[in-house]
Structure 1
């Protein structure tokens, strides 16, 4: 099966300090990988390196250009715009249109004309996650995507990930402590922490 994403012997750092090393895996169409490990182990650093937001110290991230998207703890929405205007903005950036189904999928039908600044933390998070369905990138790097979500919204997001994104030919690397009920292997990053004498070792305060 052809891999959408291949990672080979990746070594990555934060602030110039090595954090993880020897990370390798492949993801094919329809596959997800769940990143595990204690706080500070380097999950965010790995995701940012995979997404090309910071350079790797060594190793390879093999993926086609223009197919990836990274979502962090930030919702990435403009508070002065309505929900519909926010999603339309992201659709225009990626030369796409907003599918009507997105509003129902992320429980936003009643909120589409509300200013994003008036939403609760969980509602803002749903708008932020709805961007992923709007931009249509097949390879997703997600850092704690369910933060601020209640159990219903977590299940809703997991359903979209499983039944729409993965079933539709995408893949995802997800850092989460939540059981998303997705058939996906986990990768505990603890064994990949850079050795203490590796150019200064890792520093959990900056991960």
Structure 2
């Protein structure tokens, strides 16, 4: 199933930051979001993932098929690598955590508590959660933060395998992951900054 976005507007802090966003992302494809810091890449991903409402427009795909990886790794500090992945597998109704451990090169750390991992190791574990979701559309917000060059290459391989299996990926990143991907520059979709829900009425909208 394709993700089709039509005339989408989204807001941050009650202010519309992007408008008239439109694109289609098909199975087996990746789309890279680009644009200057603060333009709204994270806001767009959160809106598409169903974590906040759109101001306007239409999103064709339901949040239930989406796995969203934000800046936070979403780890339980006192659980081990394997226990963290088992927890998320149970949440998503899947079971195979061994494959995720192997593909993100976490085998030697399987019994280590998350609180005792380095920043890069925590990031790899956080990204390994994608592999236990069973969901076809990955939405990734700067996924390579804290990763060294070898881990970036490893994660690029994981994304390529996901695409080869018919999945899709929407990624906000400034790093080259070595993917065959289209690029969507959000600069043309930057909105005139105005409070959400207003037109030209200086007394309308929510200014709280």
Q: 1:89 aligns with which of 87, 90, 102?
A: 87
Summarize the alignment of residues 62-77 of structure 1 with structure 2, pairs less than 5 Å apart. Answer: 62-64=60-62, 66-77=64-75
Partner-residue secondary structure (3-state), 1:102: helix
Partner of 2:129: 131
* CA drift at 1:98: 2.4
- Give the alignment's Cα RMSD to 1 decimal: 1.5
Structure 2 Cα separation of the partners of residues 99 and 128 of structure 1? 13
Structure 1 Cα separation of the partners of residues 104 and 182 of structure 2? 25
Unaligned stretches of 5+ residues in structure 1: 202-207
Rate the CA distance shift 1:200–1:145 in 2: closer, same or farther, 3 A. farther
**In the TM superposition, what whole-angstrom CA distance separates every residue of 1:134-172 from its partner, at most 9, and x where no partner exists?**
111111111000100000000000101012x11111111
Q: 2:120 aligns with which of 118, 122, 133?
A: 122
* CA drift at 1:196: 3.9
* CA drift at 1:197: 5.5
**In the TM superposition, what whole-angstrom CA distance separates every residue of 1:81-104 from its partner, at most 9, and x where no partner exists?**
000000000001111102422222
Partner-residue secondary structure (3-state), 1:7: strand
Partner-residue secondary structure (3-state), 2:112: coil
* Alignment TM-score, normalising by the size of structure 1: 0.92
Structure 2 Cα separation of the partners of residues 200 and 45 of structure 1? 21
Partner of 1:192: 189
- Tell me the matched-pair count: 198
CA contact (8 A) 1:4 1:139 kept: no
Query: Radius of gyration: which is bigger?
Result: 2
Partner-residue secondary structure (3-state), 2:191: coil
